[in-house]
Amino acid sequence: MEPIDLSIAKKMVDHYNATRKKLIDKEHNINDTQSIWISLDKLKSFINNLPENATGVRIHFAAYDHENEHYPNQTTAILMGTVENDTQHTDAMETGSALLSTEDPMGPFNQGRACPPICS
């Protein structure tokens, strides 16, 4: 992870909104998620509770289904800890063991605040 210039970040966000978000909005007739807010306490807890053999965090893009009470059809993100497997950094979804419990410190974790609809 490397810092980038703020003007480049803004350009990238604008490009996402003009391309992918625009297509999602049109296809699903929604105002799709532009960002996801996660409290520092929750993020620190997730990172600090990863096991010693964790090598990083993978952020999977995902989408709620149309029946979700708070975010119907909205884009979201799922955080999962990774471990080294040969020369790759893998998570449970990639290794086929997606039956992790919610108690597992490697994830999957969700429930950040999606904007829209909640942008505060």
Q: What is the pLDDT of residues 63-110, one digit of tens each?
A: 999 998 888 889 999 888 888 877 778 777 765 544 444 556 666 788
Phi, psi dihedral angles at 12 (to 5 degrees): -65, -40
CA 104 vs. chain centroid, Å, equals 17
Residue 80 near residue 60, CB atoms below 8 Å: yes
C-alpha dist (Å) from residue 56 to 62, 90, 91, 101: 19, 9, 9, 19
Q: What is residue 104's predicted lDDT score, i.e. its pLDDT?
A: 64
Contact between residue 24 and residue 61 where contact means Cβ atoms under 8 Å apart: no
Average pLDDT value for residue range 42-60: 88
Strands (E), the chain: 35-37, 54-63, 75-85, 88-90, 113-115
| Sequence ranges of the domains in the chain | 34-115
Locate 86 and state its tokens: 């040969």
Eight-class DSSP state of 44: H
Reported pTM: 0.78
